[in-house]
Amino acid sequence: MEMEIKVDNDKNNKLMNRREITATANYSGSTPARESVKQELCKMLSLKPDASAIVRISQLYGNMSSRIILHSYATKEEMMAFEKEGKRKAKEQTAESTAKKQAEPEAKKPKEEKKHEEKKADGETGAGKEKEHKKPEEAKPEGK
């Protein structure tokens, strides 16, 4: 797919410590993927792709073009603190790490269950000593 990108506005936001770039992309075919647009813009403007985030891609009605808003930060940590995309990535990373931590005890768990099942088979757990629970008979009201 052929894509031509033109930068409309490049503003430095000193308060947020980022560059806010507005661009227009002309293309043929379907709307380009966010990742391909980000790579193209970062290459064109000499930015770090891992410290940049696409905020919005808005397709212009009736045209084969889109308006793009990109925020670029000095570091990846700053991007993760401010951008929704960065927060989502950070959340996914923490979810992956907690999943790995939970998987480790689960790997040990089947061994413990096997030992418990062996004890049941030997009769050490008192499986044959089940108590019968009787329901108390309820007083039934007799007619009026």
* Residue 124 within any structural domain of the chain: no
pTM: 0.59
pLDDT tens profile 55-86 = 999 988 888 899 999 999 998 888 888 887 66
Residue 34 domain boundaries = 3-75
Here the CATH number for the domain that contains residue 60 is 3.30.70.330
What is the three-state SS of the chain?
A: CCEEEEEEEEEEECCCCEEEEEEEEEECCCCCCHHHHHHHHHHHHCCCHHHEEEEEEEECCCCCEEEEEEEEECCHHHHHHHCHHHHHHHHHHHHHHHHHHHHHHHHHHHHHHHHHHHHHHHCCCCCCCCCCCCCCCCCCCCCC
The better pLDDT of the pair 107, 95 is held by 95
